[in-house]
A and B are shown apart, each in its own frame.
Chain A
Amino acid sequence: MDSGDLCAHLRAGDEQAFRDLVRGHHAAMIRFAHGFVRTRASAEDVVQETWLVVVEGLHRFEARSSLLTWIYGILANKARTRGAREARAAPLPEPSLERADARIPEADRFDASGHWREPPGPWTSLDPERIVAGRQLWRHVLDILDTLPAMHRAVLTLHDVEGLEAAAICDILGLSEGNRRVLLHRARARVRLALEQLVATDGPWPPARPAAPPGTWRAERAASSPCARR
């Protein structure tokens, strides 16, 4: 189903198309929201509220802006409002992670002339099913995403998981194009660094293969992604 088809199916009241939409994005939306709010339960709440708004507006939806841009715009507003309310109600004693982690993660690995002092370590296979420290690599990647500061996580989710365009991401998060680029790169660089550390401390390769592959992979779905790209 291409993106135009999906929107037409939704306008026509196709329930399976609606289920696919919800199932395909629910978990990524919770991860996105959790960056802004304190608990997973809060994140689930704002995602539920978002779906309840979306379900009422789907039929008025116009194709000029993509469906996902609209959905994430609603979610970002709700999550940030809720996050700000939580912060007022119970301020955290320590300074925000966002500021502490703003610099490029490899910054201290260069000498004064800008050459590698501590170059990147080698990687062997990064098969997502590879078992590292007792779990599949893709599970570690999800954990890494959950450690990213809110805006890094938000930009990475919208760009690399949901495949939204740069201009849409800037609209949703209220970012300049320059800030979007910096946040995206720092988020990716942190994922690379975390993988480098994870793989470097891992045992011998290759390990035993796991029995069953997980269900639907996002990359396969991306080809037929609902309204993700205009």
Chain B
Amino acid sequence: MRMMPTCREITERASAHLDGELGRMAGLGFRLHLAVCRHCRRYVAQLAEAVALVRGQPVGEPPAAELEALLVRRFRDHSLASLRASPGPEG
């Protein structure tokens, strides 16, 4: 097996690297390549930043008030029904 991957191979494996999914040998080749290639260092750093932005997005719009009220009503009904059905160890 060739020790040093190409730049193209680095970009293809960059996600697996970030997720800790590269095997030992592949991981070694990956790190060796990064040590000598600033373009790929930049690529991997930018991919990590992109992932961080996706992970850090705000939770977004809540449901419309009517929908939330409907769901909470249903939740309450089912909670009461299921508590009655299974009264627990003491009940």
Contacts and interface: CB of A to CB of B under 8 A. Distances in A.
Contact of A218 (B59, B74, B80): B59
Interface in A155-204: 156, 160-161, 163, 181, 184-185, 188-189, 191-192, 195-196
A51 interface: yes
A13 B80 contact: yes
A142 to B, nearest CB: 6
Contact of A114 (B8, B39, B49): B8
A6 to B, nearest CB: 14
Given A13-B79, A120-B39, A104 B12 contact: yes
B54 A160 contact: yes
B23 interface: no
Interface in B42-85: 42-43, 46-47, 49-51, 53-63, 67-68, 71-72, 74-76, 78-80, 82-83
B19 to A, nearest CB: 8
Interface stretch (A52-60, A62-70, A91-99): A52-60
B90 interface: no
Nearest to B13: A185
Most-contacted residue by chain A among B16, B72, B75 (CB, 10 A)? B75
Interface of A: 11-13, 15, 18-19, 22-28, 31, 48, 51-52, 55-56, 58-60, 104, 106, 110, 113-116, 119-120, 122-123, 126, 128, 137-138, 141-142, 145, 156, 160-161, 163, 181, 184-185, 188-189, 191-192, 195-196, 214-219, 221-222
